[in-house]
Structure formats: structure tokens, C-alpha cells
Structure 1
Amino acid sequence: MSTPPPTTIPDELLEEIFLRLPTSDAVARASAACTSFRRVIKARAFRRRFRALHRPPLLGFMDAAGFHPAQAPHPSAPLAGALAPRAADFSFVPAVVSSASYFVPRGVQEDDGEGPRWRPCDVRDGRVLLDWRSLRPGLEVSGVSTLMGSRELVRRKLCVRPKWCNAADFHLAVCDPLSSRYVLLPTIPQDLAAQPQDLLWEFLPVLAPCTGDDSDEEPFKVICIARYRTKLVLFVFPSTTRQWSMVESPISPSLYDMSSFDYVRGSFYWIEPYDLSDHLMVLDTRTLKFSTVGLLTGYHMEIRGLPGQSFDDLRPNAVVMGREGTLEMFSLVCQQGAFALYHTSLQNNS
């Protein structure tokens, strides 16, 4: 009597079994076992469901100073410590210019003694947005680079202004430090950068948040927020088209520093410090449309007094998503020399 053929397990049942595997390593081993397992695991639907159930661990935070790994007692601290050297290393991204073109004007110290290099300017969904920083000739007296942010100018304590530049002067790259993958973005075309016909005061490159659930395969989008003297412009680079486009905002650039914003539900939120404005400025990163949220229509409540304390007045507000999915804001308000923490439930997006 012949042995009956083995029962074929339906793909739907295999998917439910693999979803219960505890780690990505276990899924990878299952994928290598046979072609039928690999077919199920490589399917986009399975990868989306697995990531929803097994979120990647938080490894740390990154800013212009580098990578700050999670510390004990955080459960990711051992893994973060092991990966910290790789997460802070961008040497695999090719340099924009050779070190032979590095120029340090007389009387200006080198920035941390490291010379020109890629530096992180935004981090989102496991990707790092880099901009190229260097000291270059051809600038007024000080030699301060046109690619240098306002905070770096303050740190150098140089009371001079660099020559005006345009958006085509900036070099950007997007990378994954853990896998050493990178994409060098083309510079913004000169004809596109010249369209605003105004003086560029601030240039802020940011990564738009991923809109899908499969971050490894999700295309990315870079948004450069360019604040001119009389207008606000977006330069947008989607990885799907690899072409720059420009969107001019109907909202005038009233904010002094565009780099201070909060991200909530696919949108960026800006506010003037200490109630100098009665609204939030909002950028929907999916539609690239600007709007405003009125502050006067919300419900305000003082939740804590903070006597005898002082705070940096650059970031007195934080916009968050509340438990019920509503937009909320926490604010430090100065009243007769003392600070108080206020909570506001925001309404009436316009």
C-alpha cells in the first residue's frame, strides 16, 4: 500500500503560524527552509502584518552631534550599544568634494577638527537624511559656509553674514546606517532654484514620514522647506521619480526659525514662541498643503505651576496626539515672572 502524499498546508495557515514566530531571525530561518515558506514570508501582506505585531526596537536618537543609543534600563540598551558605532558612521557615503578642496580661512577654527563631512539633519523610519557641510572659499570675510545652519553660526560667535546662496547649493543624501545603503540626491536644478527670485534666508531639509507599513520597501520623500524674505517654498524630491519639484506656499514666512516643529499624524506643526501668534501653521506632508489651526478656539487649562524655574524660550510648546485622537498642545507660559504649564485641546483645522 503506497504512502499517501503529505497534506499541503494552505498559505493562509502558514501565514498565521509564521506571525507567531517571536523574532525576525526566526522568520528568516523559516524562509530558508523551503520555497513554499519563502513565498509566504516574502509576500507584502505578510511582511506588513508581521511588522504591525513586531515593531522594530528603539535603538536611540540622532541629532547633528551624532547617535545617542538607548541606555539601561531600556530593554534595547544592549542592542543599541552594540550597533552604536555603525549607526553613527556615515563614511560609506561618498564625499561631495575631496579633502584637497578643504579651505579654512585665517582666524576661523576647524569645526571639531573633522573637516568637511556628511552630517545628519533628519531621521525618520530608520532612514537618515544627510547634508554636506564644509568650509569653502568664496565667502565674505569670515569664510563661513553657506551650508551652515544658524545655530552653528551662533556657536562660532561670528558676527558676520555669509554670502547669499540659492537652493541649488545644497548637497543631500539619504542612507540606512545599519545596512550601509545610501542614495545621493541630485542637487536642485539651477533654473528651479532661481524661480522664487528672492533672498534665501533659511533652508531646512526634512524626511517626509512613510505612508505605508512596509518601511523596507516604502519609497522615501525629501521635503526642503525654503524660507525666503517674502515667501515660503517647498522643494520636493520623491524617490519614485527622482525629480525635484517646487510648491509655493500661500502662507507668508512669519516664523523666525522653521527648524522647530512637531510631527503628528503625517503633518508638521509650527508655532511662534510665547503666544506671539494665535494659530499653528501646518504642513500636510502627503498633500504638501499648508493650513492653520486656531489656538483661540481650543480649551485651555493650567495643569501645573512652575515657580522659580527658567526655560529656553525657543521651544515653549509641544503639539501631540491625545488619547482620543484629538490634537493637543502643551505650553510653557510666563506670567508675572513665573512659568506655568498649560494644556490646550485644539479644534477647527482650517
Structure 2
Amino acid sequence: MSTPPPTTIPDELLEEIFLRLPTPDAVARASAACTSFRRVIKARAFRRRFRALHRPPLLGFMDAVGFHPAQAPHPSAPLAGALAPRAADFSFVPAVVSSASYFVPRGVQEDDGEGPRWRPCDVRDGRVLLDWRSLRPGLEVSGVSTLMGSRELVRRKLCVRPKWCNAADFHLAVCDPLSSRYVLLPTIPQDLAAQPQDLLWEFLPVLAPCTGDDSDEEPFKVICIARYRTKLVLFVFPSTTRQWSMVESPISPSLYDMSCFDYVRGSFYWTEPYDLSDHLMVLDTRTLKFSTVGLLTGYHMEIRGLPGQSFDDLRPNAVVMGREGTLEMFSLVCQQGAFALYHTSLQNNSQEWKLEKIIQLPGQYHDYSISTVGAAEGFLFFRGAPDGIPIENVDCYSLEVKAYEITKVCTKRENTYNPRRALPYFSFPPLLSEPTI
């Protein structure tokens, strides 16, 4: 008897099988098995369906120093390790100021000994928003003209003579580090930057979420929140028009610090510790309108009145993606040196915050050694320095919001008394993604 020919599985059935694989790593291994598998997986239709069904993996964190990949035993560690060299390298984005023109005044130390370069200030949808930084943030400087690319550099104590810096002094770029593509944004025109006619206090560039249709070049929007002494102004750059515009908010700048924000359903939420503010500031990225949400109602009043609390500006609340019609928040509370996250929710038709759950955090952290990082993609992020370990060694954690599952992501070196903003970086590997620029 002759041997029957091998059975060929139709591509449509293979696609359904591969869609049910749990992780991008599993898909990558299937792709390497044979050419027919790879053909199905590389098809654009399959990649779109897979990305629609699966959350992109957390690869690690970005900050002013670079990329910190997820480490074993985190499930993304193998993929993060393989992609780390590309995720950490922004050298393909052209410099805007030569090193020869870089001047450091007496008494001012450089950020990290590497001079001026591009550094990440926001991450979203696989894209990284970069600003050009030249001096160490938070230092008083006078008598030097420099390009400043960080909100920390615009402080009342920092004076750049012969004039104060304005919004036209900032250089920005948007890049896709995994595909080495980039867009250099034009600087904000001087006539537009001069219109507020006020002292610039803080300048925070953020990436608005993607609104494209998964085409080869999805549109993006950069929004710069400029906080002046008496007003709040938005400078907006859509990639579709490549033109800056300005919107002045009717809300006066009342936040102490605008650096902590989370994105939920088309809006940014700026949060602060309970002892600094009684509301959340909200920016709808579609309408570019500001609003506020009351903070000190319902169970939040009980949280504020808990005995033995210690307050710290490194512990702002974190807003997360909640159920339909619900705004949800995690508040980091320290009582008698022990830390817990209080999960509360606010229904659309209610003005009272309701307690959902209290989550105790790992017990090896004490006193002022835990701070929140933010929230994204259904995760809350926090970091802490273990007792007995030098403060430069900081553990970074994720909390899966639905299951309350805490996972250690990585350990990185950092001064906990001057923490850098950590940006969670999610991305599919190039096999399953399209270039975002």
C-alpha cells in the first residue's frame, strides 16, 4: 500500500490556532517551526487580529538614563532581553545641538556624564516621545543660554539670561525604537510661544493615544501642557497637519506638580497625594477641554483620616481603566511604616468614592521606601527600596488591576531621594507589529 500524502492544514485553521497562543513568545516559536507557519503569522491580517485580542507585553521601563528591561522570572524577560539593545538606543534620531556647543556653568554637574542627548519623556502605543536635555534638572543657572527640554528645568529658581525660556526653546521628537523610525517635530513658532505673555512655570510634553486605523503610518498627536504663572496653555501638534496650534484653558493652574498623570478612555488624569489637592484635573485629548473631578468624597475622606499615616509627594494616586462608566483609583497609603493600596471607584452617576479592596504590599519595604509610578494597559506600577539594600537598588513592580496580582518587573539603580520618572514600555515584537512611525 502506498503511504498517504501528509495532511495540509488550511491557512485559515492555522490562523485560528495561532490566535489562541497565549504569548508573543509562543507565536515567535511557532513562526520559526516552518515556512508555512511563518507565512501565516507574518500576514498583516493575522497580526492585526492578534494585536486586537492580546495586550502588548510589558518589556520594562524607560527613564532619563535609558531602558530597563524586565528581568527573570518575569514572563516578558526573554523578549525584553532580546529587544533591549534596540529599545534603549535613540542614536538614530539626529542631534539638535552639537556637543561642541554644550556649556556647563561652574558648579553645575552634567546629568550622567554623557552631555546633551535625546531622552524619553513619554511612551504610548509603541512610540517614544523624546526631548532634548542639556543640563541637570532642578539646578539654578544664570548667565548661560541653553536649550532646555524638561519640565523640571522650568522653575522659578531657574533663570536663563538674558531672557526666560519659553515654549519655543524646547526640541521634541517622536520615534519607534524597534523600527528605528522617527519624526523631528518643528519647534513651536516664536510668535505662537509669545502669545501667553506670562512667565512659563512648567512645560510637560505628552503623547496622546493613537486614533488611527492601523495603517502603515498611524497618526499621532503631541500635546504640550504649558503652565504659566496665571494661566494654563496647550500647544498641540497633530502628525496629520504638522502644524502647532495653541489652546488656552479656562482653568487656572492650580496643581502643585503636573508630572504624574494616567490615561483612561481618551483623557489624561493628573493626580496628587491627598494632602496637596482636593480634585483631579482631567484633559480630554479629543476635545482638548479641561475639567475636574472631586477627590475628597465618600471613602476617600476615611482614607485621609486613617491614623498613623505619613504623607509624601512621591505617593500620588493612580487612575486606572475601570469598568464601563466607572473611574477607578489606587491610593498608596503608609501607616506605621507599612504600605497598602486602597482601590476605590466612582460611578458615573455618583459623587461618592466607594472602597473596592485593600491590597497589602510586600512587607520588606519600610517608611518612605515605596512610591507610585503610574498606570497603563490595565496595570498599576510602583517601586520600592528593600530594607538593608543600598538606596540605588530599586525594585519595580506591576499590579495587574483585575486580578490584583503583584509581579516584580526588574531592579534598577536609582537614587530614591531624587527618583526619575519611570515610563512603562509596552510593545509587540517586530514579528507581530507594524512600524508606528
> Given the two structures, how large is their TM-score scaled by the length of structure 2?
0.64
Deviations 1:122-157 (A, max 9, x none): 111111111111259999964677655788669999
Q: Secondary structure at the match of 1:204?
A: strand
Is the alpha carbon distance of 1:287 and 1:297 closer, same or farther for their aligned partners in structure 2, counting shifts above 3 Å?
same
User: Does the 8 A contact of 2:281 with 2:290 survive in 1?
Assistant: yes
Distance (Å, rounded) in 2 between the aligned partners of 1:101 and 1:192? 27
Structure 1 residue 282: deviation in Å? Answer: 0.4
Matched residues, number: 349
Distance (Å, rounded) in 1 between the aligned partners of 2:21 and 2:343? 42
Structure 1 residue 346: deviation in Å? Answer: 2.2
Higher relative contact order (CA 8 A, sep 6+): 2
Is the alpha carbon distance of 1:279 and 1:29 closer, same or farther for their aligned partners in structure 2, counting shifts above 3 Å?
closer
Deviations 1:86-141 (A, max 9, x none): 21111111110222211122232233211111111111111111111125999996
User: Which deviates further from its counterpart, 156-165 or 60-69?
Assistant: 156-165
Is the alpha carbon distance of 1:188 and 1:33 closer, same or farther for their aligned partners in structure 2, counting shifts above 3 Å?
farther
User: Does the 8 A contact of 1:307 with 1:339 survive in 2?
Assistant: no
User: Does the 8 A contact of 1:226 with 1:233 survive in 2?
Assistant: yes
User: Does the 8 A contact of 2:64 with 2:119 survive in 1?
Assistant: yes
Is the alpha carbon distance of 1:153 and 1:2 closer, same or farther for their aligned partners in structure 2, counting shifts above 3 Å?
closer
Distance (Å, rounded) in 2 between the aligned partners of 1:301 and 1:318? 17
> Given the two structures, how large is their TM-score scaled by the length of structure 1?
0.77
User: Does the 8 A contact of 2:199 with 2:229 survive in 1?
Assistant: yes
Structure 1 residue 310: deviation in Å? Answer: 4.5
User: Which deviates further from its counterpart, 32-41 or 92-101?
Assistant: 32-41
Is the alpha carbon distance of 1:115 and 1:24 closer, same or farther for their aligned partners in structure 2, counting shifts above 3 Å?
same
Identity of aligned residues (%): 99
1:237 match: 237
Distance (Å, rounded) in 1 between the aligned partners of 2:318 and 2:22? 36
User: Which deviates further from its counterpart, 285-294 or 247-256?
Assistant: 285-294
User: Which deviates further from its counterpart, 221-230 or 7-16?
Assistant: 7-16
User: Which deviates further from its counterpart, 205-214 or 24-33?
Assistant: 24-33
User: Does the 8 A contact of 2:272 with 2:313 survive in 1?
Assistant: no
Structure 1 residue 22: deviation in Å? Answer: 8.2
Deviations 1:193-219 (A, max 9, x none): 111111111111111111357386421
Is the alpha carbon distance of 1:7 and 1:159 closer, same or farther for their aligned partners in structure 2, counting shifts above 3 Å?
closer
Is the alpha carbon distance of 1:120 and 1:290 closer, same or farther for their aligned partners in structure 2, counting shifts above 3 Å?
same
Deviations 1:304-343 (A, max 9, x none): 9987774532433222233565112233568999988644
User: Does the 8 A contact of 1:212 with 1:218 survive in 2?
Assistant: yes
Distance (Å, rounded) in 1 between the aligned partners of 2:28 and 2:153? 48
Q: Kindly report the root-mean-square deviation, in angstroms, between the aligned alpha carbons of the 2 structures.
A: 5.1
Which structure is larger by alpha-carbon Rg, 1 or 2? 1
User: Does the 8 A contact of 2:147 with 2:170 survive in 1?
Assistant: yes
Q: Secondary structure at the match of 2:58?
A: coil
Gaps (5+ residues) in structure 2? 350-437
User: Does the 8 A contact of 1:199 with 1:229 survive in 2?
Assistant: yes
